[in-house]
Amino acid sequence: MKPWLLVSGDFVKTGGMDRANYALASYLAGRGHEVHLVAHRAADELLRLPNVTLHAAPKPLGSYYLGRRHVDKLGRKWARQIAARGGRVLVNGGNCNWADANWVHYVHAAYRPDVAGGLARRTMAGWKRRAFLAEERKALGAARIVIANSRRTRDDLVEHLRVDESRVRTVYLGTDAASVRPGTAVERAEKRRALGWDADVPVAVFIGALGDRRKNFDTVLAAWERLNRRRFECALAVIGHGAELPAWQAKVAAAGLGETIKFLGFRDDVPAVLRAADLMVAPARYEPYGLGVHEALCSAIPAVVGARSGVCERLPGELRDLVVADEENADELADRVAAWGAARGRYRAIMVGVSQTLRQWTWDRMAEEMVRVIEVTGSEGDGGVMRMSA
């Protein structure tokens, strides 16, 4: 069997792209391939496999930004060796400039983050973005085939980076059907008690980093202020952390919503929390896919989601009335949440079928399709090289 090299920041089960990369590495190893990983870290379950080797890249000061050049340099070093043996190399976005397969989870050219904080923090964010843009354009210009995690991402690659769409394939993210699933009545009741949630009050969940405004918690908070004025009863559990967390906690308290909105911080039990919840709220300003929403749907939890999120492509028609056309419109977001509240029984029935359908697309099925798409694209010869269109 041919060897594979996968280049990413991490191969772990937390985080969207990290989880997807972990799944692909696990799939390849399980089928007997020699698997090489260039990353800062990998899960112990992978490293215990005899055919998986981690080539650890330094991460100075714990910074992915400072570590990115180490990933690129080490990735190219091992890519030369794997390619010389007839193997395949898969990189992620701009993290390694190698002309084989490129799996894109995020298009930097498609979104400019709104970074809060002082001048130094905003200046550093600008430097980082310029570096990411240059590396992204260079790596995608060299790739022979590009895998997008949604049609939204594919369209962004074509529009913002002028990638030839004939060289882009879309493969949706999978799921772990065993752990991401609807909960039983007993599981739900026990988890709600553990979290301190009232058994009779519906709970919506927001998941996202609170270091910038991409996940759009500011609009969610404004929507909850409106719902509070309407006397619509629905608690909000916020999963995530970041530099702005203390500021958001202060704003929630100032708005008089301290008993309604609870910050849970980072959680490693998100599937269990979702099984105890009633709704997901995710009006992100930019979301290439949206694994959190995907996992909520697989857990039979409906989601109020922004129309431009890639995961919207997976929604059946019966859930389209929960899609927010304008992610900046707090009134529209509040209306969608209230509409869900008025028809909770109908949505519960719909979500049974939605969960069953989405959970059939497992991580292994995703990985199998990834491998198939990559292997039909030759790794040798100019005929396989993707170019930027003019």
Q: Please give the tally of structural domains in the chain.
A: 2
31 φ/ψ sector (left φ>0, alpha ψ -120 to 50, else beta): alpha
Query: DSSP readout, 278-304?
Result: SEEEE--SS-SS-HHHHHHHHTT--EE
242 in the same domain as 257:
yes
Same domain? For 371 and 268 the reply is no
Give the phi and the psi of residue 212 in degrees, each rounded to 5: -145, -170
Predicted confidence (pLDDT) at residue 344 exceeds the cutoff of 60: yes
Q: Residue 126: what pLDDT?
A: 84
pLDDT above 60: residue 385: no
Q: Do 373 and 145 form a contact (C-beta atoms < 8 A)?
A: yes
The answer to whether 157 touches 149, Cβ cutoff 8 Å, is no
CA–CA gap between residue 49 and residue 26 (Å, rounded): 9
Q: Are residues 245 and 154 in the same domain?
A: no
pLDDT of residue 115: 72
For residue 52, pLDDT over 80 is answered with yes
Domain extent, residue 100, equals 4-174+362-380
Distance (Å) of CA 341 to CA 37, 234, 278, 322: 46, 9, 10, 11
Q: Answer yes or no: is 109 within a domain.
A: yes
Average pLDDT, the chain: 93
pLDDT (tens digit, 9 = 90+) per residue, 247-283?
999 999 999 999 999 999 999 899 999 999 999 999 9
Note the pTM of the prediction, 2 decimals. 0.91
- Which pLDDT band holds residue 389 (cuts at 50, 70, 90)? very low
How much is the average pLDDT of 96-106? 97
pLDDT attached to residue 38: 98
Question: Does 354 share its domain with 375?
Answer: no
**Which is more confidently placed, 213 or 55?**
55
- The string of pLDDT tens digits covering residues 307-340 is 999 999 999 999 999 999 999 999 999 999 999 9
Instruction: For the chain, give the percent of residues with pLDDT over 70.
Output: 96
Record the tokens describing residue 95, joined without a space: 């993290």
Over residues 153-182, the pLDDT tens digits come to 999 999 999 999 999 999 999 999 999 999
Say if 284 falls within a structural domain: yes
Q: Are residues 152 and 241 in the same domain?
A: no
Determine which helix (DSSP H) or strand (DSSP E) holds 108, and give its type and residue range.
none
Res 380 pLDDT > 60: no
Rounded distance between C-alpha atoms, residue 266 and residue 166, angstroms:
40
Indicate if 101 and 190 belong to the same structural domain. no
Can you tell me the distance from the alpha carbon of 271 to that of 250, in angstroms, rounded to the nearest whole number? 28
Answer yes or no: is pLDDT of 378 > 90. no
pLDDT band at 111 (very low <50, low <70, confident <90, very high): very high
* Residue 152 sits in the same domain as residue 192: no
The CATH number given to whatever domain includes residue 289 is: 3.40.50.2000
In this prediction, residues 365-376 reach a mean pLDDT of 96
- More confident: 125 or 23: 23
